[in-house]
Amino acid sequence: MAKLTSFQSDIRPLFTERDIYAMSKAFDLASYDDVKKHAAAIYDRIRGVGGAVMPPPPPRGEGPWPQSRIAIFEKWMSDGYQP
């Protein structure tokens, strides 16, 4: 059986301190509950849907994410948002 993705081991490491700080006024990317609550919106933005792609490209950020990272986030959602 394939290993389920989890927030702690797979998702939280995807967000840099810069990402967390940049989004802190909206929600906490370091918080399982906040990321789960906003997962659909985060998923759209990392794919550039519904606004500018996040995280922004240099020099403002380290983004956009490669497809492999987006796939991990998508798998976490389909795995049922494991903590």
Per-residue model confidence as pLDDT tens digits over 12-25: 999 999 999 999 99
Q: Please count the structural domains in the chain.
A: 1
Burial of 17 (0-12, 13-18, 19+ CB in 10 A): exposed
Whether 82 is in a domain gets the answer: no
- Cβ proximity of 29 and 23 under 8 Å: yes
Whether 41 is in a domain gets the answer: yes
Per-residue pLDDT for 71 more than 80? yes
Whether 2 is in a domain gets the answer: no
Give the pTM. 0.92
Structural domain harbouring 31: 7-61
Summarised one tens digit per residue, pLDDT across range 17-62 is 999 999 999 999 999 999 999 999 999 999 999 888 999 888 888 8
- Cβ proximity of 82 and 8 under 8 Å: no
Whether 1 is in a domain gets the answer: no
Residue 36 has which token pair?
A: 């789960």
